[in-house]
Amino acid sequence: MSGKLKFDTGAAKAMEAMYLTPDVVGQRVTVLNALGLLPYEHVLDIGSGPGLLAEDAAKMVGAEGRVLGVDASEAMVMMARTRCAALPQAEFLTCDATKLEAPDAGFDAVVSTQVYEYVDDVDQALRELHRVLKPRGRAVILDTDWDSIVWHASDADLMRRVLTCWDDHLADPHLPATLARRLKRVGLEVGRVEVVPMISVGFQPHSYAAGIMRAIRSFVRGNAEKHGLSEDDVQRWYDDQLRLAELGAFFFSVNRYMFVATK
Ligand SMILES: C[S@@+](CC[C@H](N)C(=O)[O-])C[C@H]1O[C@@H](n2cnc3c(N)ncnc32)[C@H](O)[C@@H]1O
C-alpha cells in the first residue's frame, strides 16, 4: 500500500475495532453531548465510517427522526448499514463530502468526526456542510492535529521519521489550526472549541494507542522508502514500543479538536 490511507474492507474492520475502544467511545460521548440531539431531529453524519456514531444518533432522534450517514468508502457504508439494520431511521449513502447527495437546508444538525483531515478540498466540503444545514442548525466537527503528539520512544529521531511518514496518510495532518477561520469563511458561527485528548499512560491492548500503533506500522511499511526508512526501521520502532510497554514506560498522547458551530 502507498499514498493515502485506503478505506477498504480490511481497513474498515481495523478501524471498527479501534473505534470500539474506551478512548474512542468516550470521544463519541463528548461529540454527541456537544451535538445535543433531540427526538424527531434530522442529522447528517459526514464520513460516517463504521456507523458507530450514526447508530447512537439514530437512537437519540428516535423512530420519528432521521440519520443520514454518507461516506466515500463502499466498504464503510456496507458496515454501517449492517450495524444499523434494526434502526430504519438510519440510512447510508456512498458519496463524497465535497458533493453531498442531500437537499439544501435539510438537517437540524451535521456531524463529521475525523473526516475533513482526509479531504483534499476542505473548503468545498465545508460549503456543502453549510448548504445542507438548516438556518440556526448546529454542526460539530472534530479532527486531529498530529503536531500535538507526545509519544515516548528510546530513539527520538526514529520516532520523528516514522511520524513524518505517517503524516502522509492525511490530506492535512494539521487541519484544526485553520478550521475556525475556514468555518467562518463559509458562513458558520464558531462557538466552543474544545480539546479532546487520546491518552495512554501505560499500555492497554484494547486502546486507541494500541490500534494506532498497528495502523502506523502498516501504513509506514508501505510508504517507508519515500522517507528513507527500511522495513527493519519500522519493525524496530514497533518493537521499541512493545519493550517500553513491558517496562511500564509506555506514554502516548494526541489531541483532537472539536469545533461547535451554528448556521
Ligand atoms: C477515520 S474515519 C472516521 C469515521 C467516523 N467519522 C468516525 O469517527 O467513526 C474517516 C472516514 O472518512 C471517510 N472519508 C474520507 N474522505 C472522504 C470524503 N472525501 N468524502 C466522504 N467520506 C470520506 C473514510 O471513508 C472513512 O470512513
Give the domain ranges of the chain: 9-262
Predicted local confidence at residue 212, as pLDDT: 95
23 pLDDT more than 60: yes
Query: Does any ligand 1 atom lie closer than 6 A to the CB of residue 31?
Result: no
Q: What is the pLDDT of residues 117-134, one digit of tens each?
A: 999 999 999 999 999 999
Lowest mean pLDDT among 5-14, 42-51, 106-115, 137-146: 5-14
Stretch 31-59: mean pLDDT: 98
- Across the chain, the runs of DSSP E, i.e. the strands, are 42-46, 66-71, 90-94, 107-113, 133-151, 189-201, 251-262
Cα 174 from Cα 148, distance rounded (Å): 9
CA of 154 to the centre of ligand 1 (A): 33
Mutation choice for ligand 1 from 115, 122, 143, 166, CB with most ligand atoms inside 8 A = 115
Mean pLDDT over residues 221-227, rounded?
86
Kindly give the distance from the C-alpha atom of residue 74 to the centroid of ligand 1, in angstroms, as a whole number. 11
Give me the torsion for CA of 108, 195, 32, 6, rounded to 10°: 90
Q: Distances in Å between the alpha carbon of 182 and those of 6, 47, 123, 173, 259?
A: 26, 19, 7, 16, 11
Residue 3's pLDDT is what?
A: 58
**SS3 category, 193:** strand
pLDDT band at 1 (very low <50, low <70, confident <90, very high): very low
Q: How far is CA 101 from the centre of its chain?
A: 21
Residue 183 beta carbon below 6 angstroms from any ligand 1 atom? no
Return the C-alpha cell found at 246: 513491558
DSSP symbols for 13-81: HHHHHHHTSHHHHHHHHHHHHHHT--TT-EEEEET-TTSHHHHHHHHHH-TTSEEEEEES-HHHHHHHH
Mean pLDDT (the chain) is 95
- DSSP label at residue 171: S
% of the chain residues with pLDDT over 90: 92
Closest CA to 139 of 192, 214, 205, 62: 192
Candidates 104, 41, 97, 103; CA nearest to 67 is 41
Ligand 1 pocket mutation pick from 71, 79, 146, 169 by most atoms within 8 angstroms of CB: 71
* Rg value, the chain, Cα: 19
Q: Which CATH architecture has domain 9-262?
A: 3-Layer(aba) Sandwich (3.40)
**Cα–Cα distance, 203 to 163 (Å, whole number):** 19
Residues 213-219 have a mean pLDDT of 94
Q: Is residue 75's pLDDT more than 70?
A: yes
User: Closest Cα partner for 107 from 72, 131, 81?
Assistant: 131
Checking if the pLDDT of 2 tops 60, the result is: no
pLDDT tens, residue by residue, 134-186: 999 999 999 999 999 999 999 999 999 999 999 999 999 999 999 999 999 99
Count of CB atoms situated within 10 Å of the CB of 228: 9
For the whole model, what pTM was predicted? Answer: 0.95
Asked if the model's pLDDT at residue 80 lies above 50, the reply is yes
